[in-house]
């Protein structure tokens, strides 16, 4: 039985998405995780989360709008008093449906904007989408729904921060989240093409901080550093099993978005067990809770109560050991992985980096002109032959 309590439920309603962003945070085998929860299942999960003390609900995906029962799920959340954030690409959305979602009780909309203009945005998103996003932003503003603009930063757009700020201001956004890509899942596959240089990052940060000061009281400007440049790991999920529960489209209850990519951890499904039982004492949520699992140098580190040892998924995907010190930490024996990625970022010059043909938004599926790997259903062979089942 834990003394921790969750404050936020991240409901990944589906991994399906019309966009194919090269830094998508869904697992690379997302197509193997089908939507398995019914409307009633999701409503029960929300009720159980509320009973555990959750007050924030993130409806995300994939693209949550692809679920036809989104309005019903939102209405249930509103009935419980949850603060409901709809995190969306804006595709597919028509004004009428946004009205319905507002009336059902959405508290805020977070709209992803890939970049300041059509061509570069669509190169990252892997499909035509920019004009529609502008329409969605206008509807959100017109309907009086608090808007957050979410932009993932990487070397292709990190020089555009002033323009992104300007766009968010034009949308009347309450909040702008400039978050550097987290180099896991699809972003890890594309890391060498996406990681910015330190100089570019510093410049972007200066622009963001000056915008924050200028817009104080009007628009909140958040700037999330990439942990590859911070020398100390991020407090991933505010600690394992401490504040957050993620529920995946196939009904797994997880301490973070990618915990199901860690081998050797037991699975917990909300279809077979109550959320409270999973939270309180499941081996999965206990695995890296607190600090008893920590190796050195974490175990004797003063910062262990600040960063909780960093990100378990990053530790696993960079070192093969989920219980290792996060390599983002300069004190990690594996920090060289991060240093080498940074050194590579310095060596690549723009012309070599992206040789995409001008104006071609129809990005190659994989390893094409741009060298970027787009999010697509993995081929059958990658899934052991049952991708279509």
Partner 1 sequence: MSKGRGGSRLITLDARPTLSPKARLRVDKKTGQKVLLYPEKGLLLNATGARILELCDGERTVAGIVEVLVSEHTAGAPDTISSEVTAFLQRLFDTGLVRTGPS
Of residues 32 through 61, those in contact with partner 1 by CB under 8 A are: 50, 53, 55-56, 58
Note whether 142 binds partner 1 by CB under 8 A.
Answer: no
Minimum CB separation of residue 152 from partner 1 in Å reads 16
Minimum CB separation of residue 138 from partner 1 in Å reads 15
By beta-carbon proximity to partner 1, the closer residue of 265 and 275 is: 275
3-class SS string, the chain: CCCCCCCEEEEECCCCCCCCCCCCCCCCCHHHCCCCCCHHHHHHHHHHHHHHCCCEEEEECCCHHHCCCHHHHHHHHHHHCCEEEEEECCCCCCHHHHHHHHHHCCCEEEEECCCCCHHHHHHHHCCCCHHHHHHHHHHHHHCCCCEEEEEEECCCCHHHHHHHHHHHHHCCCCEEEEEECCCCHHHHHCHHHHCCCHHHHHHHHHHHHHHHHHCCCCCEEEEECCHHHCCCCCCHHHCCCCCEEEECCCCEEECCCCHHHCCCCCCCECCCCCHHHHHHHCHHHHCCCCCCCCCCCCCCCCCHHHHCCCCHHHHHHHHCCCCCCCCCCCCCCCCHHHHHHHHHHHHCCHHHHCCCCCCCCCCCCCCCCCCCCCCCCCCHHHHCCCCCC
CA pair distance 81, 53, nearest whole angstrom? 11
Residue count at the site for partner 1 (CB under 8 A)? 25
Minimum CB separation of residue 276 from partner 1 in Å reads 12
Minimum CB separation of residue 158 from partner 1 in Å reads 23
Angle between helix 198-214 and 161-170 (nearest 10): 30
By beta-carbon proximity to partner 1, the closer residue of 48 and 50 is: 50
Minimum CB separation of residue 145 from partner 1 in Å reads 8
Minimum CB separation of residue 128 from partner 1 in Å reads 28
Of residues 301 through 360, those in contact with partner 1 by CB under 8 A are: none
Which residue in 118, 127, 175, 271 binds partner 1 (CB under 8 A)?
175
Residue identified by tokens 């419980």 is 80
Note whether 63 binds partner 1 by CB under 8 A.
Answer: no
Binding mask 76-115 for partner 1 (x = CB under 8 A): -----x-x-x---------------------xx-x-----
Minimum CB separation of residue 177 from partner 1 in Å reads 9
Minimum CB separation of residue 108 from partner 1 in Å reads 5
Binding mask 4-23 for partner 1 (x = CB under 8 A): -x-xx---------------
Note whether 263 binds partner 1 by CB under 8 A.
Answer: no
Which residue in 218, 340, 365, 379 binds partner 1 (CB under 8 A)?
218
* Side-chain-facing half-sphere of 151: CA atoms under 13 Å: 35
Note whether 219 binds partner 1 by CB under 8 A.
Answer: yes
By beta-carbon proximity to partner 1, the closer residue of 146 and 295 is: 146
By beta-carbon proximity to partner 1, the closer residue of 8 and 89 is: 8
CA pair distance 280, 2, nearest whole angstrom? 5
Which residue in 144, 266, 283, 385 binds partner 1 (CB under 8 A)?
144
Minimum CB separation of residue 61 from partner 1 in Å reads 16
Residues at the site binding partner 1, with contacts judged by CB under 8 A? 5, 7-8, 50, 53, 55-56, 58, 81, 83, 85, 107-108, 110, 144, 146, 148, 172, 174-175, 216-220
């Amino acid at each position: 039985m834990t003394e921790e309590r969750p404050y936020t439920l991240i409901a990944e309603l589906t991994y399906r998405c019309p966009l194919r962003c090269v830094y998508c945070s869904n697992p690379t085998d997302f197509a193997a995780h089908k939507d398995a929860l019914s409307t009633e299942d999701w409503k029960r999960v929300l009720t159980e989360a509320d009973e555990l003390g959750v007050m924030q609900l993130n409806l995300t995906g994939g693209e949550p709008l692809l679920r036809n029962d989104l309005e019903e799920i939102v209405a249930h959340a509103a009935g419980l008093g949850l603060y409901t954030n709809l995190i969306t690409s804006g595709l597919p959305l028509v004004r009428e449906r946004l009205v319905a979602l507002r009336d059902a009780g959405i508290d805020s909309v977070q709209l992803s904007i890939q970049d300041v203009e059509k061509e570069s945005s669509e190169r990252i998103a892997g499909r035509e989408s920019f004009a529609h996003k502008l329409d969605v932003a206008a509807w959100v503003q017109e309907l009086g729904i608090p808007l957050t603009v979410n932009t993932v930063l990487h070397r292709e757009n990190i020089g555009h921060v002033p323009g992104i700020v300007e766009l968010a201001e034009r949308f009347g956004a309450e909040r702008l989240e400039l978050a550097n890509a987290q180099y896991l899942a699809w972003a890890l596959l594309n890391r060498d093409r996406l990681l910015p240089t330190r100089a570019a990052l510093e410049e972007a940060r200066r622009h963001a901080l000056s915008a924050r000061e200028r817009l104080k009281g009007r628009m909140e400007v958040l700037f999330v550093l990439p942990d590859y440049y911070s020398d100390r790991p991020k407090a991933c999920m505010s600690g394992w099993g401490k504040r957050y529960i993620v529920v995946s489209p196939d009904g797994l209850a997880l301490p973070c978005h990618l915990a199901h990519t860690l081998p050797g951890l037991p699975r917990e499904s909300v279809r077979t067990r109550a959320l409270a039982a999973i939270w309180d004492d499941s081996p999965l949520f206990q695995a890296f809770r607190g600090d008893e699992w920590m190796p050195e140098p974490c175990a004797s580190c003063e910062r262990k109560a600040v960063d909780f040892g960093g990100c378990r998924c990053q530790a696993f995907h960079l070192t093969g050991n989920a219980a290792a010190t996060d390599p983002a930490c300069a004190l990690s024996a594996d920090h060289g992985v991060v240093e080498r990625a940074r050194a590579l970022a310095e060596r690549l010059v723009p012309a070599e980096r992206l040789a995409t043909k001008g104006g071609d938004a129809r990005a190659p599926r994989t390893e094409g002109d741009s060298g970027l790997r787009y999010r697509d259903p993995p081929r059958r062979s990658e899934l052991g032959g049952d991708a279509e089942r």
